[in-house]
Amino acid sequence: MEKPAQVGKYIVEEELGRGATSVVYRGHDTFGNREVAIKVFNPAGFSSDDQRRKFEKLFITEAAMAGKLNHPHIVNILDASIEGEFHYIVMEMLRGKTLEPHVQPDTLLDTAEVLQIIFKCCTALDFAARKGIIHRDIKPANIMLCDSGELKITDFGAAMINDTEKTQMAGVGSPAYMSPEQLREDDLTLQTDIYSVGVMLYQLLTGHLPYTADNTYALIHKIMNEAPQDVRSLRPDIHSELARIVHKALEKSLAARYQNWADFAADLAGCVNPSTVDKKTIPDSEKFNVLKSLDFFRDFTETELWEVLRVSVWRRLKAGTALIKEGDTGKSFFILAEGSVQVTKMGKQLSRLKAGDCFGEMAYIDQSSAMRNASVTAASEVMLIKIEADALMNASDNLQLKFNRTFLRILVSRLAVANKGLATLMA
């Protein structure tokens, strides 16, 4: 297939890569004024009509994802269409590399980083599963580590959408990462993706697949009938709890395997060993779980919580640390994730705030005034979330709306408490 000058409304600029069935181009969306990736279906790549029909179904499946999977760790499908000879899908442009370079024994990532990657995969695939979508082809080649620091799951072409008329197609997926039930062509649930993520976790930790064989038939036999080699026989330094998590994800029995993504993610987050992480660094898995536990964020979706992580700075600070000084200027506000703080004005204590409370929010609410009207000091060791007003102003409309509604709820609550106190004094 020669490079076209234009596909639909998109200007084609250069070829990024090609396979037997598709070509991916870098393009320009003239309407949205943004760079995009255009995946064009290549009919010439099929050896038979049956193969062409199968991959046309996969194309339609991936096209159906447009607008359904709006999650920070899933590639955003912007558009899909069939126009004349072109079958194409338009996606956000990603720059980075896949996990493939990190599945060899001499190129492994740090264990703490692997845990964060798999945790993010769990939350993203949980989001997809709640939308009725199972990926069915999870493997390192379909996980992108972007130059921006973000992780993206790509290639939902093999996905199973639960509300479609036909939910299964044989011969889809990569055998080494396929679950026993997928190889048997049983009805699939989200647990098939859990198994595939388990294989990927095993490989990222050891540089080896849990099963290898000389041919596909022997490989399938092993996956369906043999226990995987103990992960600690390849990496003796792996903690016993992490080894348990890996092997639970790889259980052949659905009853013994993780039943849902939440339990898998929770075990991974609990397995992060603080001694292996820089004390000043707070893992994203811990941040995400903290946000989910705070009353401040009770109305935020998981997608919005991940965006909060992107626009915020987190710090652990000792008791007695001055967080805000009366009379100073600043355009940031704070949410207390752990611990407590003392609020004073002219040396007199006004209040004591606990986890889930916010302070300094007037810097965001009233953009014309940035002077602090009270001092805030850490009363204990604290974990503090700091958000610059400008960073939130540049965030998505949905996130700004959620913060605005939350601040309004807090202000109304504070006003009610003040009115009650005033009424008591007057009485």
- The per-residue DSSP string of 37-67 comes to EEEEE-GGG-SSHHHHHHHHHHHHHHHTTTT
Which residue in this structure is represented by tokens 């996130």? 399
| Rounded-to-integer distance, Cα 357 and Cα 410, Å | 9
Q: Which residues are catalytic?
A: 137
pLDDT tens sequence for the chain (427 residues):
678 888 888 999 999 887 767 788 999 998 888 999 998 876 666 667 776 676 677 677 667 766 678 889 999 888 888 776 678 888 899 999 999 999 999 999 999 999 999 999 999 999 999 988 899 899 999 999 999 889 999 887 666 555 443 334 444 568 899 999 999 989 899 999 999 999 999 999 999 999 999 999 999 999 999 999 999 999 999 999 999 999 999 999 999 999 999 999 999 998 875 444 445 688 999 999 999 999 999 999 988 999 999 999 999 999 999 999 988 888 899 999 999 999 999 889 888 999 999 998 887 887 766 788 899 999 999 999 999 988 998 888 999 999 999 999 888 887 776 666 667 767 6
Q: With beta carbons less than 8 A apart as the criterion, state whether 59 and 40 touch.
A: no
Q: Which residues neighbour 190 within 8 Å (Cβ) at sequence distance 6 or greater?
A: 125, 126, 129, 134, 260, 261
Q: Which two tokens stand for residue 119?
A: 């945790």
Q: Which two tokens stand for residue 324?
A: 């805000």
Q: Which two tokens stand for residue 177?
A: 């990462």
Residues recorded for the chain: 427
Q: Which residues neighbour 40 within 8 Å (Cβ) at sequence distance 6 or greater?
A: 1, 4, 7, 22, 23, 24, 25, 86, 87, 88
| Rounded-to-integer distance, Cα 36 and Cα 90, Å | 7
Alpha helices in 167-299 (DSSP H): 180-183, 191-206, 216-225, 231-234, 240-249, 261-270, 284-293
pTM passes above 0.85: no
| Rounded-to-integer distance, Cα 163 and Cα 143, Å | 25
Q: Which two tokens stand for residue 426?
A: 């007057």
Q: Which two tokens stand for residue 348?
A: 């007199």
